[in-house]
Amino acid sequence: AQKVTQAQTEISVVEKEDVTLDCVYETRDTTYYLFWYKQPPSGELVFLIRRNSFDEQNEISGRYSWNFQKSTSSFNFTITASQVVDSAVYFCALRRGNTDKLIFGTGTRLQVFP
Amino acid sequence: DAGVTQSPTHLIKTRGQHVTLRCSPISGHKSVSWYQQVLGQGPQFIFQYYEKEERGRGNFPDRFSARQFPNYSSELNVNALLLGDSALYLCASSWQGNYGYTFGSGTRLTVV
Task: Please check whether residue B44 touches A, CB under 8 A.
Answer: yes
- Averaged pLDDT for residues A28-32: 91
Chain A residues with CB within 8 Å of chain B CB:
4, 33, 35, 37, 42-47, 50, 91, 93, 95, 99-107
The shortest C-alpha distance from A37 to chain B (Å) reads 10
Q: Which residues of chain B, if any, have pLDDT below 50? A: none
Q: What pLDDT, in 10s, does the model give residues A68-99?
A: 999 999 999 999 999 999 999 999 999 987 77
Give pLDDT tens digits for B32-42. Answer: 999 999 999 99
To the nearest whole number, what is the mean pLDDT of chain A? 93
Distant-in-sequence contacts of A43-50, Cβ < 8 A, 24+ apart: A43/B88, A43/B90, A43/B105, A43/B106, A43/B108, A44/B103, A44/B104, A44/B105, A44/B106, A45/A91, A45/B43, A45/B90, A45/B92, A45/B103, A46/B103, A47/B100, A47/B101, A47/B102, A47/B103, A48/A77, A49/A77, A50/B99, A50/B100
Average pLDDT, chain B: 93
- The answer, for B104 touching chain A at a CB cutoff of 8 Å, is yes
